[in-house]
Chains A and B, each alone.
Chain A
Amino acid sequence: MTVLDILIKYHDGFLQGLAVTLQLSLIIWIFGMGLGTALGMAGAKYKLEIGLPTRLFSFFLSGIPLLVFLFWLHYPVQAMFNVVIDPFITAAFTLTIVNIVAVADLVRTTVDDFPKQYILAARVCGMDSHKTFWRIQLPIMFRQMLPALLMLQVTMMHTTLFASLISVEEIFRVAQRINASIYKPVEIYTALGVFFLAVSLPINGFALLMKAKFTRNLSES
């Protein structure tokens, strides 16, 4: 049985798994980038009230393996509160939290590290703060941040594989189940690898392209 044969025979299962993986990724990306950006901007502006607690939480979270965090929210927390939550929701919530924190860190660092001299140059040219923000600060920060942000989102998509460990029927779990019935690990996991390469490489390549195109040596300006 070749990779193609397996894909054709089990295409329903693979497509369902793929749909779950993509749903999970979309939730993580949309909420992670949206809320993470808002939190990062707020943290850069209100350093004490928002920035410090966010950094402390990020520091705390960085010490916990993702799998432990996911299992902790899936079993002990639900047992403590005597609730049963759909594993998909638990996985989406856990990974979104991680993405929010990571994006917020990235955004806050980019805002904090923004060379204030560019704002000074705009001021001495008579530009108002609105124009300075939209035409100077935002484009420079966006260009500085975009490659790292894209690569982070690819990593987050890869972390959706952990959801299989709490019984979410995403693509990795589907692949495991098919392998359990036909035992063709080389073909099945090769197909899975090809799928992730097909999704990840264009995004990573785009990130590298953006990095090469946009990243400037700010000291030269």
Chain B
Amino acid sequence: MLTATSLTKKTPDGRKILDRADIALEPGKLLALLGPSGSGKTTLMRCLSMLDAPDGGDIQLDSHVYSFPLPAGAEGVESIGPKPWPRVTAVFQQLFLWPHLTLRENCLLPCKDRAAGEAALEELVKQFGMADFIDRFPNETSGGQRQRAAIARALVLNPTYLLLDEITSALDIEQTAKVLQLLELVKAKGIGILLITHHMGFARKAADTVVFIDEGKIVESGPAGILDKPKNKRLKEFMAAVKLA
């Protein structure tokens, strides 16, 4: 399990952007994180991936608990426990594929065991339909192709938890559908997925858990059914706005 308890994050001027957030991600499950713009979704994801250290709270990654804030002088999460990556890994809204490498090289560079990486990538190339463009540079491919490559780069590392930040925001409907279908495959591999998304249809269909965040607080969470019968006023307003849109 990847469990965060009472996570808090503040801006340099002291404003809370994450306020005692609790969230749990199980291997093989898909958690959809929803909320309006500026509600703290990306901050929560970055804290959960431990790329940004929270100002308070605990994150338990399987058996190890990382407690925050970091002690004075500590430069990163590596100073308080084993490096959490790539067991927990993330794909960002802007994919940050390294531009000087082909998509294949992008996927293989982080692999410690090159041969195992190549074998895993070959399988992903088939599953994700990437054979036609895997040897191209990122700037020679479409947004959807880059999206698939970014997910493949994360999966080659055999993570237990995959955190995805609005990865379909720049794609058209058809490309989005393809990427979301791939997530079903990823989930079937036993990988826990946290997906920040605005695709309610996909969240309803595929999410095991839906978490709604507003102003840095988790205001409602539960099975996908909460989207149809929200209890919290903010989630009701949000869903009403989604219907209007």
Contact = CB atoms under 8 A, between A and B. Distances in A.
Interface of A: 115, 117-118, 120-127, 135-136, 139-140, 143, 214, 216-221
Nearest to B105: A135
A117 B94 contact: yes
Contacts of A220: 99, 138-139, 146
B153 A221 contact: no
Interface stretch (B85-93, B203-211, B220-228, B236-244): B85-93
Contacts of B97: 121, 221
B86 A124 contact: yes
A127 B107 CA distance: 12
A221 B146 contact: yes
Given A125-B154, A140-B100, 15 more contacts: A115-B96, A117-B94, A120-B51, A121-B97, A124-B85, A124-B89, A124-B90, A126-B83, A126-B112, A136-B109, A140-B98, A140-B99, A214-B100, A221-B99, A221-B138
Contacts of B157: 125-126
A198 B114 CA distance: 46
A21 B86 CA distance: 55
B110 to A, nearest CB: 4
14 contacts: A120-B96, A121-B92, A124-B86, A124-B89, A126-B157, A127-B109, A136-B109, A219-B94, A221-B94, A221-B95, A221-B96, A221-B97, A221-B98, A221-B139
Interface centre among A143, A214, A221 (most CB of B within 10 A): A221
Interface of B: 49, 51, 83, 85-86, 89-90, 92, 94-100, 109-110, 112, 137-139, 146, 153-154, 157
A214 B137 CA distance: 11
Contact of A117 (B86, B89, B96): B96
B139 A216 contact: yes
Contacts of B49: 124
Contact of B110 (A117, A118, A122, A216): A122
A118 B98 contact: yes
B122 to A, nearest CB: 19
A69 to B, nearest CB: 38
B163 to A, nearest CB: 9
Given A120-B51, A216-B139, A125 B100 contact: no
A190 B103 CA distance: 50
A216 B146 CA distance: 15
A127 B98 CA distance: 13
Contacts of A136: 98, 109
A63 B221 CA distance: 63
A146 to B, nearest CB: 12
Given A125-B89, A126-B157, A217 B139 contact: yes
B162 to A, nearest CB: 10
A6 to B, nearest CB: 48
B132 to A, nearest CB: 18
B98 A121 contact: yes
Q: Which of A115, A118, A125, A135 has the most CB of B within 10 A?
A: A125
A124 B51 contact: yes
Contacts of A135: 109
A139 B51 CA distance: 24
The 7 closest A-B pairs by CB, nearest first: A125-B110, A216-B99, A126-B86, A121-B96, A126-B85, A221-B99, A117-B96
Contacts of B112: 126
A143 B137 CA distance: 15
Contacts of B154: 125
A135 to B, nearest CB: 6
A114 to B, nearest CB: 12
A126 to B, nearest CB: 4
Nearest to B90: A124
A28 B102 CA distance: 36
A115 to B, nearest CB: 8
B6 to A, nearest CB: 23
A127 B95 CA distance: 17
Contacts of A219: 94
A117 B153 CA distance: 15
A126 B99 contact: no
Contact of B100 (A117, A122, A143): A143
Nearest to A140: B100
